[in-house]
Amino acid sequence: MLRLPGTLMRGGTSKCWIFDARDLPPGADRPGGRLDEVLASAFGARDPRQIDGVGGATSTTSKAAIVHPSTEDGVDVDYLFAQVGIGTPGVEWGSNCGNCATAVGLYALLNGLAVPTGPRSTVVLRNRNTGVRLSATVPTPGGTVPELGTATVPGSLATGVPVGLGFRNPAGASTGALLPTGAGTELLGGVPVTLVDAGAPAVLADAAALGATALESPEEFAAHVPALAALRRAAALRMGLATEADPVSHAVPKAGVVAAPGDYITTLGETVRMADYDVAVRMVSMHAPHPVIGLTSAVAVASAVLTPGTIPAKLAGNRPSATVVRLGTPAGVVAAEAETDASGTVRLVTLHRAARRIATAHLLVPALLQESV
């Protein structure tokens, strides 16, 4: 019987099952084949409700990370991010997830993959999907890793351990350039878009061109998901992320709309004024509106705002800070702190998140019950 040890973590507004690669069965140490079978079975992925597995049946709760100590100098932990299918046994490996990276940083300290170094400890992570390096900084008073904290993030009232998640040199990990086609703005199917690769590849459409405002609630924004799904595919081809013969990916590039700021009501019933943020954004996560914004998407939008000639840069107008980009999301304002060099290149984007360990367990994987580890 396969009893797979796992830890359920909350990172920001996502939940992520984290598995130590050393606990996986033989042959399940890389994307595809055996590992996909293990995750799909453990999550109950074939069922859209994931009722017979540990998945949460939403794009923000059907996630996994496979971690192991890194052998590279200056890196503490390598990890693979998996977006597990919902209603399909497939697993997508083409992207990263900042919220899960937040959880991996805290997990690494709690489980001895990284050692606390004083009042604040920084864990260096490498995402094996994209090659991007991240840093997770966690308060460790007296060298002790906290289980609980008081930090919150837009989109959740839950508290957790504060984690500063930094994306180092985020541009071009998937395509080799911040602007993969060299243009800040172009047309896809007659729609003005910005194609950007920072944190993750993303296609950001002018909301007005799709009849949207980027101020919608997730329920209202659902009407625009089909159009953005088509744009995602066109952008994947344009950015060289896929060929016509490749299957359609629902994970990358990230897809969404941007608009100039306006007043709106968050999903928690709070009023956000147009003066409180720099650009409005609504993103799609897999097949549905994202309830907030994925952190890799936040890095992409923030980097675009700081890049002249892009749609987000034009819409952001006069920002009060040269180093902080404030994003108006359905759940509230998400602030991205950016550091640039003398040439204006973004070298670091930091987002402040919260994380918590929810449970540790042994998962019984149904498709592999006759096997052992």
pLDDT of residue 371: 45
Query: Under a CB-based contact definition with an 8 Å cutoff, are residues 306 and 108 in contact?
Result: no
Closest CA to 88 of 60, 129, 49, 35: 49
Distance of CA 312 to the CA centre of its chain: 19
Gyration radius (Cα) of the chain, Å = 20
pLDDT digits (tens, 9 = 90+) for 82-128: 999 999 998 999 889 999 999 999 999 999 999 999 899 999 999 99
pLDDT digits (tens, 9 = 90+) for 161-219: 999 999 999 999 899 999 999 999 999 999 999 999 999 999 999 999 999 999 999 99
How many Cβ atoms sit within 10 Å of the Cβ of residue 175? 18
Query: Under a CB-based contact definition with an 8 Å cutoff, are residues 227 and 175 in contact?
Result: no
Q: Which pTM value belongs to this model?
A: 0.88
